[in-house]
Amino acid sequence: MNSDDPLLKILEDLLKLDDIYACMIARRNMVSVMPDTNLFNQKIMDVWDIVSVAMKNVFGIIEEYTSVGLDVMEFRLKNHSVLFFVIPETDNALVAIIPSLANKGLIEVEMENARREIVEILNREEEELVKA
């Protein structure tokens, strides 16, 4: 771990939490930033295929409603919950797979922190581009 990529580092930090089985930054049809899948909890393997397909549908909704303030989406699948924290003003979301019985509130706090850090990085990169 210990990536040079700041976005990847945020995800790797999230993955260190016991109840975050997998996480990534994704948009429809594309996972933009994903840690090494060997770091994922293998318990998600039985739902991974279904989650991948379901994500496409969820992102369809995110694309449509993000401009009017869609913030968080979630669905439950078997023993897992999939959380989508929409990155504001984008069609991207921070996605995490957690056990459905996890203390979701505590996890949401760290998802929110990760989202804020991602936005900060994107804003910083934009400012650097403008200066250049």
Q: Using DSSP, state whether 7 is helix, strand or coil.
A: helix
Q: What b/e readout covers 64-89, taking b as 16+ CB neighbours within 10 angstroms?
A: eebeeebeebeeeeeebbbbbbbbee
Name the minimum Å distance from CB 27 to other proteins: 6
Name the minimum Å distance from CB 64 to other proteins: 14
Q: Nearer to other proteins by C-beta: 30 or 61?
A: 30
Q: Nearer to other proteins by C-beta: 43 or 56?
A: 56
Name the minimum Å distance from CB 36 to other proteins: 10
Q: Nearer to other proteins by C-beta: 27 or 48?
A: 27
Task: Enumerate binding residues for other proteins (CB under 8 A).
Answer: 4, 7, 13, 16-19, 25, 27-33, 56, 72, 85, 87, 90-92, 101-113, 116, 122, 125
Lay out the sheet containing 72-77: strands in order across: 30-33, 22-27, 93-99, 80-86, 72-77
CA distance 125 to 93: 18
